[in-house]
Structure 1
Amino acid sequence: MNSDEAILGRCPDCGERIPETWLLVEYEKNDGTDGVWAECPACEDVVAPEESG
C-alpha cells in the first residue's frame, strides 16, 4: 500500500487498515457527526471503520 494513501480507519471485524479508496457511503448521523461505511479489503465485509489510533 502507498504510504501517502489516506486511511479511513480499521475494520472492527479483522483489524485491517481500510484505505479511503474502499469508501462506499458518507453520511451525517442524527447527532451531527459524520459517519462512513466502507468495504474491508481483507474480509470483504461492509463495516463502519474504527478510528486508527
Structure 2
Amino acid sequence: MNADESSLGRCPDCSERISEAWLLVEYEKDDGTSGVWAECPACESVVAPE
C-alpha cells in the first residue's frame, strides 16, 4: 500500500496531506456523493480535504 491510498486529500488552508487517521465524519451529500470532515494535523482545523 502506498501513502496515497490512505490519504483523504490535502488541507484547503495549509495544503498538508491528511491521512485517514484524522477522519472525523464521513457522510452522504444530497446529490449522492460522499463527503468527509477531518482534522488537519498541521493547522489543527476541521476541514473538508481537497
**TM-score of the superposed pair, with normalisation by structure 1:** 0.85
**TM-score of the superposed pair, with normalisation by structure 2:** 0.90
Segments of 5+ residues of structure 1 without an aligned counterpart are none
Which 4+ runs in 1 deviate beyond 3 A?
A: 2-5
Q: How many residues align?
A: 49
Q: Between Structure 1 and Structure 2, which shows a larger proportion of helix residues?
A: 2
Segments of 5+ residues of structure 2 without an aligned counterpart are none
- Equivalent pairs: percent with the same residue? 82
State the Cα RMSD in Å: 1.7
Q: Which moved more, 1:4-13 or 1:26-35?
A: 4-13
